[in-house]
Amino acid sequence: MDPSAPSGSTADASASSSSSAVEDLAAGMAAMSLQDRFELLRGIGEECIQEDELMNLLQKKPVPICYDGFEPSGRMHIAQGIVKTINVNKMVRAGCEVKIWIADWFAQLNNKMGGDLKKIQTVGRYMIEIWRAAGMNLDGVEFLWSSEEINKRANEYWPLVMDIARKNNVKRIMRCCQIMGRNDSDELTAAQIFYPCMQCADIFFLKADICQLGMDQRKVNVLAREYCTDIKRKNKPIILSHHMLPGFKEGQEKMSKSDPSSAIFMEDDEAQVNLKIKQAFCPPNVVDGNPCLEYIKYIVFPWFETFEVVRKEANGGNKTFTNMDELIADYKTGALHPADVKPALAKAINQILQPIRDHFNNNSEAKILLNTVKKYRVTN
């Protein structure tokens, strides 16, 4: 296998929008009540714009299209690997068809991997391999490479981009630069200024009913709703913005790929996970701004539905928490101490990551991909 071969991979990587897959989604959806489906999807978002539109969509459209996307830009941290797996599986369970946009051209515009498209595509295939190993339900997922899809339907895509660009001034577009990990004080290339117009166009190009991205992507999703107003389109994309996990250091609002100690990465071994969590900011009795508790809330509970603490009888004995409210109550009073939380969190995270480690150790093609991406990291 040539790990740098661009994606003839679409068929392999994509688990299908075939008619049988859509039928399976519809059958699964029929087994759930409308309210259950709404609550499952609403639970993904820290914010939903708008709840009444989401309910109306579920009533009227049997299999809504959910759009998610990612820039293949190097290492994958646990929020992108595990939180995305959790959220995608919820969307599939709720009867949605999930289109995941592999934004290889966008990564090139944003100068990721030095702008080398072959390297970017290799990273994209490595990331898909991680989700496969993590247990993402690919039966309801279609992976689409932006470079391929845009070239196939260029006559549809570029007029849409141009119309969005015409209807917005540069200042409005600059306010969206956060979606690229930039801020409006950065010196941007012309390509990077063009990027928000293209991402906004993606939503309509993919015929998305729901945009399921992080809170850091909120501004461009709102831009898409504003564009609907401009063109007098009644059905606007519904925005489900998920919570952004913080970094492990005090005051870090977001994980940073440039600071490896701030986050757990999907390729971290057991010792690295243990050390990062041991050194993480976790003040006693303090819940707000506590990254360890956020990991428990957004990763451990959705994955296991419990959080198990093992400790000596003198320190309160073993305890299994079944919900976050119970855990927070104990933590605030001091009945649950950081010295209890950290080993339990490390054990849970290592359990989640072990199947991914095993896959990359035992599958020869996956191992080649990982080793190739690691070389990119070193040379870059």
The DSSP string of 68-97 is EEE---S--BHIIIIIHHHHHHHHHHTTPE
What residues does each domain of the chain span? 27-242, 270-374
Residue 162 pLDDT: 95
User: Do the domains 270-374 and 27-242 match in fold?
Assistant: no
For the record, the structure tokens of 159 come out as: 């007029």
Percent of the chain with pLDDT over 70: 87
pLDDT in tens, 54-79: 999 999 998 999 999 999 988 889 99
Confidence of residue 20 (pLDDT cuts 50, 70, 90): low
Pair type for strands 307-309 and 319-321: antiparallel
Q: Residue 9 above 50 pLDDT?
A: no
270-374 CATH: 1.10.240.10
Confidence of residue 13 (pLDDT cuts 50, 70, 90): very low
Q: Give the list of residues 6+ apart from residue 3 with CB closer than 8 angstroms, or none.
A: 122, 125, 368, 369, 372
Query: Which of 150, 167, 264 lies closest to 225 in space, CA to CA?
Result: 167
Percent of the chain with pLDDT over 90: 66
Q: Give the list of residues 6+ apart from residue 181 with CB closer than 8 angstroms, or none.
A: 110, 216
**In this structure, which CATH number among 3.40.50.720, 3.40.190.10, 3.40.50.620, 3.30.43.10 belongs to the domain 27-242?**
3.40.50.620
Q: Residue 314 above 70 pLDDT?
A: yes
Q: Residue 142 above 60 pLDDT?
A: yes
> Coil, strand or helix: which one is 148?
helix
Q: Residue 341 above 80 pLDDT?
A: yes
For the record, the structure tokens of 74 come out as: 């190097």
Residue 85 pLDDT: 95
Report, as an integer, the average pLDDT of 222-226: 94
| 27-41, 44-58, 363-377: least confidently modelled range | 27-41
Confidence of residue 186 (pLDDT cuts 50, 70, 90): low
Query: Which of 6, 273, 201, 225 lies closest to 120 in space, CA to CA?
Result: 6
Residue 74 pLDDT: 80
Residue 259 pLDDT: 75
Confidence of residue 182 (pLDDT cuts 50, 70, 90): low
Q: Residue 379 above 50 pLDDT?
A: no
8 A C-beta contact, residue 197 and residue 161 = yes
Confidence of residue 11 (pLDDT cuts 50, 70, 90): very low
Q: Residue 309 above 60 pLDDT?
A: yes
Beta strand segments in the chain, E:
47-49, 65-70, 97-102, 141-145, 210-214, 238-242, 307-309, 319-321
Q: Residue 5 above 50 pLDDT?
A: no
376 compared with 287, residue with greater pLDDT: 287
Report, as an integer, the average pLDDT of 280-296: 95
> Coil, strand or helix: which one is 143?
strand
Q: Residue 272 above 50 pLDDT?
A: yes
Report, as an integer, the average pLDDT of 176-200: 71
Residue 60 pLDDT: 94
Summary mean pLDDT of the chain: 87
